[in-house]
Structure 1
Amino acid sequence: MLVQPCVEAFGLGAPPPDPVPGQCWIVGDSPAGAWAGSAGALASWTEGGWRFAAPREGMAVWIAGEELAARYVSGAWRAGQLSAAQLVIDGEQVVGAREGAIDEPDGGSVVDAEARAAIEAILQALRAHGLIDGG
């Protein structure tokens, strides 16, 4: 339940009718029945009944049915969100910190020159983000 937990579902308000020992859930915000008073906790069914574990900052679980990770951050579970400074694949950075906005072309009498400048700015931003090769 606490070491690499895998939950059946995220945010349920009431216990499932026929749990199997070892199955876990993340309890919803307004729990009822056997889960009353355990909002946000991990609930695991055991041979001895329900066991609850309060989440701790940074705790992560796998939501099996959705194939998503959930992490407990700032007092709440967040499913499917990923926080990172950069994304590295096969040793290569492919996404980094967000760059500033690209200004729209403005003025000028030759449209092709403006279009070329805009395309160059887009390519430069994509390279800065690591989304395309620096070529």
Structure 2
Amino acid sequence: MTDIFSFASTTPRLGLPNLFTAQAQKEFTVNEAFALIDSLLHAAVEGEADAPPSDPGEGECWLVGIGPSGDWAGHSGRLACRQSGNWLFAAPIEGMTVYDRSTKQLVRFRDGWVRGASVAVPAGGEVIDVEARATLGELVANLISLGILPAS
């Protein structure tokens, strides 16, 4: 959520604001919930950074790095999404997965953001098993294409 407002009652997983009976200005609460849903449903980030981009596009989301500054100060590890000209921050939950457009891979939250490591395709050696190498190469290529491993 943004820094400006804090809601008295939110959903347990994503912190979406709840409505109250006879609540005034329901549109504010509903719009805040829609903004969070828009940012987090099928989440994709532009990349990871410590400072906000100089000219962010509406709807852009970023992973806030470990040394945040500027508008992102105090939001390390969160998702920062640009909505209506403001930054909307969302705390990740265990098991959350986002797609990083800059590295073309999936990033998962498990006690912090975790990325797959590059895997070297087997080559050389004294005994060459062409079929095994072809299979491993194909497997690695598929894992890269699925965003599970980064391209090397």
Pick aligned residue for 2:116 from 55, 59, 80 = 80
Q: Distance in 2 between matches of 1:78 and 1:65?
A: 15
Q: TM-score, with normalisation over the residues of structure 2?
A: 0.51
Which structure has greater strand proportion?
A: 1
Task: Note the residue ranges of structure 1 that are not aligned, 5 or more in a row.
Answer: 82-118
Equivalent residue, structure 1, for 2:68: 31
Which structure has greater helix proportion?
A: 2
Give the count of matched residue pairs. Answer: 87
SS of the residue aligned with 1:22?
coil
Alignment of 1:11-26 (within 5 A): 12-26=49-63
Once the two structures are TM-superposed, the CA of residue 7 in structure 1 deviates from its matched residue by 0.3
Q: TM-score, with normalisation over the residues of structure 1?
A: 0.57
Equivalent residue, structure 2, for 1:43: 80
Deviations 1:39-91 (A, max 9, x none): 00000011140000000000000001211100000x2101225xxxxxxxxxx
Q: Distance in 2 between matches of 1:30 and 1:65?
A: 19
Task: Note the residue ranges of structure 2 that are not aligned, 5 or more in a row.
Answer: 1-38, 118-126, 137-152
Q: Distance in 2 between matches of 1:39 and 1:30?
A: 7
Aligned-pair identity (%): 42
| Dislocated runs of 4+, deviation >6 Å | none
